[in-house]
């Protein structure tokens, strides 16, 4: 099938979904109140609780939830064929992911901007709060450590991206100063800041930065340390200083990249060379349930509930902004996942060079996706997207070298937004845990952030100086992340039940995600046990017990509410 038909069809479907199902949820299910006071007003502190323009907050929210998730997931899932990936992205994002994100933000807006884990104690019971907090802490622990490695790996693969990514920080601080201190237009100065950022891409393309190893400390390890120091500083600053303006620039960058990709599809309109279905991939696990934990951010991701209820709800100016920010943000991420699928399934067919030989069409796809192991590494996933994207954008006449740098910066910048947002979220979680355990000193800003960064650093260097220790827990990440989404939907469903609102629209996605993630976790546990990987097996068993306990508590509350 022609890729242009797929891209245009998906865009039209998302627009229709936003104006129909999204509005229905806002009016009939979550009952958005335009006159309600938001936590950004009632708890304003100038650091975390700051009423923010809807467009600026959308930039922060989207770049935080996106990261590399909608790139990595589709880039590997397409090995099973483009049809299963496409169907899951479309259905999952409209009826599961966007509902999950919208509900998580609304429930936080109605509970003083608290995180969904903290709110679970009020809605279900205190035991559930403790269980949920432990699962969230573990999930964020993985996110911080793994995304530090991801960005470091991108710097190693695309050394041209180093200068643009780091120079984006002073540009963002300047933008925040001009908008919040000088009262300048965020759109005008946002455009100027984006132009400056693209100027740094040209510099980066000419002066790539390659760090040498430092004794037993690899270049990736050095970058991980630098990135976690940055995450500490960024997550303790007021959101108006760095987080919001930097994410706003990245939102412009995203729009430009997506426009370039869409124009590239329009001009080159490559056919999908990936098979429609391919269920006999060498070494690959079964499509079901693994597809549903492989493609996460493009369809539904538990990490989103933490952003929606952790940072975005604290900055939302009014409840009517929740639908475009959370529901609309998820649909846009779904569209990004569709474009990634096209890049990997069609764009790569325009030309893939390996060992001096250029492959095209189905041969190019087969070279990149020869087996599950060859396509499963981080470099292979990023390469598939960057090569396919560059092929399509090159149809516009842009230099290939600049395009490669542009896409490298795109991937690294989005991963960086997820890193420091996750660190800020972990600070909130640690503070809430400290309050529950009656040790308020650990819940203060700097002690909580230090714990968040130090634990991630310990995990990253648990394997030695390469800084890749977190990757040993990577097999658990997909299942834990999606489990978090199912449990967030459980909390939202109980909240709706208490308000005597129809729960079918959150209960069905909840049941589906919990069943699929439990199934996937079972497969993982069997694999860990057979391979003698006792660390992963032990952690997986612990998470499974916490999950089942929390689900049981939720079912008991729902049954009681039904009787009453």
Q: Are 264 and 386 in contact (CB under 8 A)?
A: no
β-strand partners of 353: 358
Distance between CA atoms of residues 360 and 487, nearest Å = 44
Structure confidence at residue 266 (pLDDT): 92
pLDDT at 378: 63
Paired tokens of 118: 């903290």
Q: Could you tell me the pLDDT band of residue 341, with boundaries at 50, 70 and 90?
A: very high
pLDDT at residue 374, rounded to an integer:
66
Average confidence (pLDDT) over 112-134: 90
Length of the chain (residues): 564
Question: Are the C-beta atoms of residues 196 and 252 closer than 8 Å to each other?
Answer: no
Gap between the Cα atoms of 536 and 529, Å rounded: 9
pLDDT tens for residues 473-512?
777 888 888 999 999 999 999 999 999 999 999 999 999 9
Residue 374 buriedness (CB in 10 A; 0-12 / 13-18 / 19+) = middle
Half-sphere exposure of residue 67: CA atoms within 13 angstroms, side-chain side: 26
For residue 379, what pLDDT is reported?
65
Residue 554 lies in a domain: no
Q: Kindly report, residue by residue over 430-457, the tens digit of the pLDDT.
A: 998 898 888 988 889 999 999 999 999 9
Question: Which two tokens mark 414?
Answer: 């989005």
Q: Say if 526 falls within a structural domain.
A: no
Q: What is the pLDDT of residue 14?
A: 97
pLDDT at 154: 82
Cis peptide before 49 (omega within 30 of 0): no
Q: Is residue 520 part of a domain?
A: no
Residue 489: both structure tokens together: 């939907």
Strand partners, 352: 359
The answer to whether residue 550 is domain-embedded is no
* Domain membership of residue 134 as a residue range: 3-70+82-96+107-481
Q: Can you say whether residue 525 is alpha, beta or left, with left for phi > 0 and alpha for psi between -120 and 50 degrees?
A: alpha
User: Cα separation of 301 and 299, whole Å?
Assistant: 7
Percent of the chain as helix, strand, coil, to the nearest 5 = 80, 0, 20
Q: Which of 108, 71, 457 is nearest to 301 (CA)?
A: 71
468 three-class SS: coil
Helices (DSSP H) in 78-176: which residue ranges? 82-92, 98-109, 116-123, 126-157, 162-176
Whether 551 maps to a domain, the answer reads: no
Q: How far apart are CA 116 and CA 136, in angstroms?
A: 10
486 inside domain: no
As given in the structure block, the two tokens for residue 508 are 């069905």
Q: Check residue 377 and give its pLDDT.
A: 61
- pLDDT tens figures, 243-265: 889 888 888 888 888 889 999 99
Q: How far apart are CA 488 and CA 495, in angstroms?
A: 11
Q: Which of 23-37, 66-80, 99-113 has the lowest mean pLDDT?
A: 66-80
Q: Report if residue 205 sits inside a domain.
A: yes
Structure tokens given for 31: 């009952």
Contacts of residue 204, Cβ cutoff 8 Å, sequence gap at least 6: 160, 161, 162, 163, 164, 405, 409
Tokens, residue 38? 């938001």
Q: Is residue 533 part of a domain?
A: no
Residue 127 has pLDDT above 90, yes or no: no
CB 314 within 8 A of CB 40: yes
pLDDT, mean of residues 21-38: 96
Torsion, Cα of 151, 152, 157, 161 (10° steps): 60
Q: What Å distances lie between residue 130 and 85, 386, 490, CA to CA?
A: 35, 41, 15
How many domains, the chain?
1
HEC string of 335-378? HHHHHHHHHHHCHHHHCEEECCEEECHHHHHHHHCCCHHHHHCH
Contact 405, 161 (CB under 8 A): yes
pLDDT at 494: 95
**Are 83 and 347 a contacting pair, CB within 8 Å?**
no
- Residue 126, class by beta-carbon neighbours within 10 Å (0-12 exposed, 13-18 middle, 19+ buried)? exposed
pLDDT digits (tens, 9 = 90+) for 69-101: 788 889 889 999 999 999 999 999 999 999 999
How many whole angstroms separate alpha carbon 126 and alpha carbon 273? 52
Nearest 5°: the CA angle 492, 494, 497 is 110
CA angle 330, 331, 336 (to 5 degrees): 95
* pLDDT tens column, 382-432: 778 888 998 999 888 888 777 877 888 888 887 888 888 889 999 989 998
Most confident of 321-325, 462-466, 534-538: 321-325
Which residues are registered as beta bridge partners of 316? 52
Among residues 303, 282, 283, 299, the alpha carbon closest in space to that of 291 is found at: 299
Q: Nearest to residue 429, comparing CAs of 177, 99, 115, 21?
A: 115
Query: Which DSSP category does 240 fall into?
Result: T
**The CA-based dihedral angle spanning residues 514, 519, 522, 528, taken in that order and rounded to the nearest 10 degrees:** -100
Residue 106 confidence (pLDDT) above 90: yes
């Amino acid at each position: 099938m022609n890729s242009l038909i797929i891209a245009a069809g998906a865009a039209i479907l998302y627009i229709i979904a936003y104006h129909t199902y999204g509005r229905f949820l806002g009016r009939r299910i979550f009952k958005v109140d335009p006159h309600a006071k938001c936590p950004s007003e009632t708890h304003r502190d100038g650091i975390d609780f700051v009423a923010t323009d809807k467009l600026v907050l959308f930039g922060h929210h989207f770049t935080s939830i996106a990261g590399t998730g909608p790139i990595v997931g589709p880039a590997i899932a397409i090995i099973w064929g483009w049809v299963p990936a496409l169907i899951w992205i479309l259905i999952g994002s409209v009826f599961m992911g966007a509902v999950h994100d919208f509900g998580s933000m609304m429930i936080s807006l109605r509970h003083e901007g608290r995180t969904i884990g903290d709110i679970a104690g009020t809605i279900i019971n205190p035991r559930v709060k403790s269980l949920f907090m432990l699962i969230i802490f573990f999930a964020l622990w993985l996110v911080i450590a793994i995304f530090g490695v991801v960005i470091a790996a991108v710097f190693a693969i695309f050394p041209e991206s180093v200068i643009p990514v780091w120079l984006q920080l002073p540009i963002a601080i300047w933008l925040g100063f001009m908008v919040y201190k000088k009262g300048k237009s965020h759109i005008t100065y946002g455009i100027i800041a984006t132009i400056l950022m693209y100027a740094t891409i040209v510099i980066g393309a000419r002066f790539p930065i390659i760090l040498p190893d430092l004794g037993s400390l690899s270049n990736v390890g050095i970058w991980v340390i630098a990135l976690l120091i940055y995450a500490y500083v960024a997550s303790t600053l007021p959101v108006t200083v760095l987080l919001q303006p930097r994410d706003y620039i990245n939102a412009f960058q995203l729009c430009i990249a997506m426009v370039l990709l869409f124009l590239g599809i329009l001009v080159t309109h490559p056919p999908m060379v990936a098979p429609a279905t391919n269920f006999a991939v060498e070494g690959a696990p079964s499509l079901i349930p693994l597809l549903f934990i492989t493609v996460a951010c493009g369809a539904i991701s538990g990490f989103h509930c933490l952003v929606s209820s952790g940072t975005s709800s604290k900055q939302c100016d009014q409840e009517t902004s929740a639908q475009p920010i959370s529901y609309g943000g998820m649909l846009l991420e779904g569209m990004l996942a569709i474009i990634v699928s096209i890049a990997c399934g069609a764009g790569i067919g325009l030309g893939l060079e390996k060992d001096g030989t250029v492959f095209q069409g189905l041969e190019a796809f087969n070279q990149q996706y020869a087996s599950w192991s060859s396509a499963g590494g981080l470099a292979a996933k990023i390469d598939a997207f960057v090569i396919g994207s560059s092929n399509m954008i090159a149809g516009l006449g842009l230099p290939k070298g600049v395009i490669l740098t542009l896409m490298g910066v795109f991937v690294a910048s989005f991963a960086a937004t997820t890193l420091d947002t996750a660190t800020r979220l972990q600070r909130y979680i640690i503070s809430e845990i400290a309050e529950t355990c009656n040790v308020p000193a650990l819940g203060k800003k700097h002690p909580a952030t230090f714990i968040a960064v130090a634990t991630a650093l310990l995990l990253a260097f648990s394997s030695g100086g390469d800084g890749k220790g977190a990757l040993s827990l990577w097999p658990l990440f997909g299942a834990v992340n999606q489990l978090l989404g199912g449990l967030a939907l459980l909390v939202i469903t109980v909240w709706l039940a208490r308000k005597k609102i129809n729960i079918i629209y959150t209960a069905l996605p909840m049941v589906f995600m919990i069943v699929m993630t439990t199934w996937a976790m079972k497969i993982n546990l069997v694999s860990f046990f057979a391979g003698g990987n006792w660390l992963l097996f032990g952690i997986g068993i612990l998470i499974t017990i916490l999950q089942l306990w929390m689900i049981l508590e939720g079912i008991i509350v729902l049954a009681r509410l039904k009787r009453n």
